[in-house]
Chain A
Amino acid sequence: MSINKKSPWVLHYDATSCNGCDIEVLASFSPVHDLERFGVVNTGDPRHADILLITGSVNRQSIPVVKQLYEQMPDPKVVVAVGICATSGGIFKDCYNVVGGVDKVLPVDVYVPGCAARPQAIIDGILKAASILEEKEKALKER
């Protein structure tokens, strides 16, 4: 097992979500679900993070911010779209300012659907992201 899988650090960004998925993400860190037992740390700094957790249907004003945060993250990095809004726009898909999902802005690796996504699903998504991280790191090393 590679090291990256053991210590995936997460940056959680709310791109105009209704906060439902955000609360669930924070609940995943709380005692009942406890993400920290997998070594996950919720940092607030893109430079420290491996995984970018994005919730919310991205609107036009968040596009530069999301891009900037993604750029400020060091390689290898993984993007996880949490909630159906981040996956495809959800019920806000037809709004005039909504782009319709994070993958219109960034390359997404893991989709966690749900409205709001359950903590169990979020944990599953993050662990999948950790494995993808491991693969990316191996690919980076071979280069």
Chain B
Amino acid sequence: MSVIKVILIIILTPLAGGLLVGFDRVISARMQGRQGPPILQPFYDVLKLISKETIEVNRFHRFYVYLSLMFIILTAVVMFSGGDILLAIFILSLGAMFFTLGGYASWSPYSVVGAERELLQMMAYEPMMFIVAAGLYYVSNSFFVSDIISQSKPAIVYLPVVFVGFIYILPFKLRKSPFDLSVSEEANQEVVQGISTEYSGRALAVIEVTHWYETMIALGFVFVFFAADNKISHLIAVLMCLVVYMFEIILDNSTVRVKWQKALSSAWIVSGILGIVNLTVLSFFNF
């Protein structure tokens, strides 16, 4: 794993993520009959935020956001360089936990409610992430992404139901409706901006960049489902990532936010049933 590769991953991932978010805004706008911002708008936003004054509530809460970014970058590096997917999930949860702690650290009503909801979201999607990792391990006998994507058949052939479950919890990770409970891109009428309420300037720019990384990591999981050892499947996998993202955009624009009870219970029930069904069927094939 060379240094150049790591640097490329660190730089290219947020660029791709930002472009995707830009596409998201444009497509959402077109769906609503508007023109929408230029595609590079997310980058303009981040650059503007960097040049703004950073004001704070207390000395501590901005610190967590930077920590969170570092761990998300670590996750991206681990995942995109073919490392251990379970380790990636754990580091990702660590990064998300730091983000949540930042929300608590400012102790403002909106950010605390946002932080609680963020914890709830994490609790809702974690089981499915583990089930995905378990399923991928069953199929390829290794947790390493490099092994999983070099199998003869892509993992989706054996794990279609698990994939459906994963798509179900993807809105949690991408912060889209119907599960955008804690921090959403649009002005959230219930919790103002949720966790990011008390952040401004550079810290807010960091939150935005973290979101880009998270988007790419989530789509990275989709890629892992579809990639196999021939190059065409890699292309198909990238295409499927874009298809899934389009689907999420459509879902975002056509659904409303659900209550937290429904989000939690539906996510858990779906993960449980789909996961157990697929894995049980798989285990009969004796890997």
Whether A and B touch directly in their complex, counting CB atoms under 8 A apart, is answered as: yes
Task: Say whether B37 contacts A74, CB under 8 Å.
Answer: no
Q: In the bound complex, what is the Cα–Cα distance between A30 and B38 (angstroms)? A: 17
Contacts of B81 in A (CB 8 A): none
Task: Say whether A39 contacts B44, CB under 8 Å.
Answer: yes
Task: Say whether B48 contacts A48, CB under 8 Å.
Answer: no
Contacts of A45 in B (CB 8 A): 192-193, 196-197
Contact of A74 among B25, B35, B200 (CB under 8 A): B200
Q: In the bound complex, what is the Cα–Cα distance between A13 and B175 (angstroms)? A: 26
Q: Please, which residue of chain A has its CB at the minimum distance from the CB of B198?
A: A47
Task: Say whether A34 contacts B34, CB under 8 Å.
Answer: yes
Q: In the bound complex, what is the Cα–Cα distance between A137 and B201 (angstroms)? A: 13
Contact with B along A33-54 (1 / 0, CB 8 A): 0101111011111011010000
Contacts of B51 in A (CB 8 A): 3-4, 137, 141
A76-109 with Cβ < 8 A to chain B? 76
Question: Is A124 an interface residue when CB atoms closer than 8 A count as contact?
Answer: no
Min CB–CB distance A52 → chain B (angstroms): 14
Task: Say whether B48 contacts A75, CB under 8 Å.
Answer: no
Q: Chain A interface: which of B52-60, B83-91, B151-159, B252-260?
A: B52-60
A16-64 with Cβ < 8 A to chain B? 30-31, 34, 36-39, 41-45, 47-48, 50
Given contacts A6-B44, A7-B45, contact A31 B32 (CB under 8 A): yes
Interface size class of A (residues with CB under 8 A): 20 to 34
Contact of B200 among A6, A7, A41, A48 (CB under 8 A): A48
Would you list 27 pairs from A and B whose C-beta atoms are within 8 A, ordered by A residue? A3-B48, A4-B51, A6-B41, A6-B48, A7-B41, A7-B45, A30-B34, A31-B33, A31-B34, A34-B29, A34-B36, A36-B29, A36-B35, A36-B36, A37-B37, A37-B38, A39-B37, A39-B38, A39-B44, A39-B45, A42-B187, A45-B197, A47-B198, A47-B204, A48-B204, A74-B52, A75-B52
Interface, chain B (partner A; CB < 8 A): 25, 29, 32-38, 41, 44-45, 47-48, 51-55, 187-189, 192-193, 196-201, 204
Interface, chain A (partner B; CB < 8 A): 3-4, 6-7, 9, 30-31, 34, 36-39, 41-45, 47-48, 50, 72, 74-76, 137, 141
